[in-house]
A and B are shown apart, each in its own frame.
Chain A
Amino acid sequence: MEKYDVVVVGGGPGGAYAAKTAAEKGLKTVCFERGELPGEKNSSGAGLGTRWWRDFPEIMGRLPDLPSYRKIDMIVIKVVDEENRLRLVQGTTGSDRDGSRHSGSLDKGMAGTSIYRRDLDPLIADLAVAAGAELRTSTLVTDVIMDAGVVTGVRTEKGEEFKAEVVIAADGAMSTVARKAGMRNRWGGGCTLVPQVDFACDRKKLDAAVGNAEWCWFGPFNGAYQINFSESFHLGAGQWLRPDWDTKPQDVLNRVMEIPAFRQFCWLVEAEPREFQSHMLPWLKQPPKTYAGGVMLVGDAAGFPCPLDAEGIWHACMSGRIAAETAAWAISKGDVSERALAEYERRWKASKLGDEHRFGPEFVDVWDHSIFDPELMKKLIQFLLEFSELHPFAVLFDWSDDHVNCLNQHMEHLMDIMPEFSDFGKKYLQPLSSAISPQLVRRVLLQAKLKMPLVRSLSDDLFLKILARLNRRVATALDNPRWR
């Protein structure tokens, strides 16, 4: 039986990045991938935002050489009404031209990259191998080896056993390791299913039609993303796997493909569908427990995708890095017990990854109670039409900084230019209230005060004090402990 310091299950971005980090720490590391090549089984959006430059420059620097690469400066939102008419085309703010600097500033919105998983996954796996990790492809892990409740290795489909001090599970939403280790079973409503179709098209025509942008389609039906690559694009749309699921996955996309503006675009760039796939994508309020004795979960296996927009590759790589660093620390201490590996959860919660999940329930709620509700979607479209020169969607689609920071920056910006936003915010963004900083809550309330003839004459402080007395939610929001 072969023995390793770290066994990584899954050769996608999270697993490969964990293997790379572990090997760099001098640990004897092996990574198992069930496909003949990393990425062979994977397809996703997939766009990488600006923060990748801050956190993974060694990956970003290599992407422009890959065949599917398209540089992304902005997101264009296309909104259709109930009759499928295109009513609004809204670009989010552009980015600084070099696109290589992480920027939290509103003037330097989003910049990123579209890249196929077929290109990205092997690249990260190569970095792991270069760092000294062993990569075993065409190897399916089917079980874990347990000793007194602690995971001590894995078993493959051929019955081979591999011992490890620590197992890092990066085996996707269905995680065999998490299930076999008894950590969880079904997601029970927290996971989405994402049907996605890949269109081939004419490269030059696509350049002319989309430039450096990703597209999104919104309408009373739902929302769909259109990620533009060098000579192809993905159209995809997710929904939660819950008992109210009421249609075939592909029908969600068929609905978007009926939009005349979409069909015109396809005609223009000579697009033809050439591949279809459907994958699970956890979109949770909070990840469940991410560690147990001898094992840590990373990426989709842990349920890490962003609660605001379900972006997941950055989260996979970040959690992979933190898991491998924790493994090195635990192994050097000679303690890989559940208690020791609790350090993993402490570390990711204290990191940028933890910031992302600090307001998970509020982020998920805003989608859950609003945008996937056709009635609200109609109102939202009306709202967008009324304020079409502004860019409220940027609230949700700026990747330039960590998403919770972006949200606050954009809300603040909107308040500056559009006092009416406070009404909308009160009505529809209520679920987000605890993700909004106390300063912003204060501004929302004070702006509302100006519209009340009777209380206008009160001082701001007195007004807020009375309000906080009368309403506990206001009091909590103004004194939000989560912002400390």
Chain B
Amino acid sequence: MTEFKIDVKKLVFHKEGDTGDFIKYEREKCDGCGMCVLVCAASLWSVKDGKAKLAPRYGERCMECAACWDICEREAIDFSYPASGTGITIKYG
């Protein structure tokens, strides 16, 4: 029988072009709780030495859901959108 597991890398599509820096992270405010790691479907966040760390080329993978911004109780994460015409594109529906 068909068996599925979601492979995010294969199932998310992005446009070419420089997204700019649209996630701002204030390290001092972070308490390393790791909620950003958990809610991010694109796995852009990790926790090292008690502090969250954002993947360097996150613009190429971010799905623009902004869950990291909404979940962060310390308000260490600020989210805007990538430059227009760049970032995720819904290819099918």
Residues of A within 8 A of B (CB): 34-36, 39-43, 68, 116-119, 137-140, 142, 157, 173-174, 176, 185-187, 191, 193, 195, 197-198, 200, 229, 232, 234, 241, 243, 245-250, 253-254, 257, 260, 263-264, 266-267, 271, 273-280
**Residues of chain A with a CB closer than 8 A to B92's CB:** 116, 118, 198, 200, 232, 274-275
Q: Which listed residue (B1, B73, B80, B83) contacts A264, Cβ 8 A?
A: B1
| Bound CA–CA A229/B92 (angstroms) | 12
Contacts of B8 in A (CB 8 A): 250, 276
Report, nearest first, the 5 A-B pairs whose CB atoms are least far apart: A116-B93, A276-B11, A140-B84, A278-B41, A250-B6
11 residue pairs A–B, Cβ–Cβ below 8 Å: A35-B89, A138-B85, A157-B83, A174-B69, A198-B92, A232-B92, A249-B67, A250-B41, A276-B11, A276-B12, A280-B67
For the complex with contacts A142-B80, A187-B70, A278-B63, 15 further pairs of A-B residues with Cβ separation under 8 Å are: A34-B84, A35-B89, A174-B81, A186-B75, A232-B93, A241-B70, A245-B39, A245-B71, A247-B38, A249-B41, A257-B5, A263-B1, A271-B2, A275-B90, A278-B65
Residues of chain B whose beta carbon lies under 8 Å from any beta carbon of chain A: 1-6, 8, 11-13, 20, 35, 38-39, 41-43, 63-67, 69-73, 75, 79-81, 83-85, 87-93
* Nearest residue, chain B, Cβ from A193: B67
Q: How far is the CA of A391 from the CA of B32 in the complex (A)?
A: 47
Complex contacts, B79 vs chain A, CB 8 Å: 174
**Which of B5, B67, B69 has the most A CB atoms < 10 Å from its CB?**
B67
Query: Contacts of B80 on A, CB cut-off 8 Å?
Result: 142, 176
* A275 touching B1 in the complex, CB below 8 Å, given contacts A138-B84, A176-B81, A250-B41: no
> Chain B residues with Cβ under 8 A from A186's Cβ?
69-70, 72, 75
Partner of B88, one of A39, A41, A247: A41
Q: Which residues of B contact A68 (CB under 8 A)?
A: 93
Q: How far is the CB of B6 from chain A (nearest CB, A)?
A: 4
- The reply to whether B6 and A273 contact each other, CB–CB distance below 8 Å, is yes
Which residues from A are CB-within-8-Å of B66? Answer: 173-174, 280
* Contact call A36/B85, Cβ cutoff below 8 A: yes
Taking a contact as CB atoms closer than 8 A, the residue among B75, B83, B93 that contacts A43 in the complex is B93
Given the contacts A241-B70, A276-B11, A257 and B93 also touching, CB distance less than 8 Å: no
Bound complex: CA A173 to CA B64 (Å): 11
When the two chains form their complex, are residues B11 and A197 in contact, meaning their CB atoms are under 8 A apart? yes
Most buried by B among A257, A260, A264: A257
| Residue numbers in B under 8 Å from A243 (CB-CB) | 35, 73
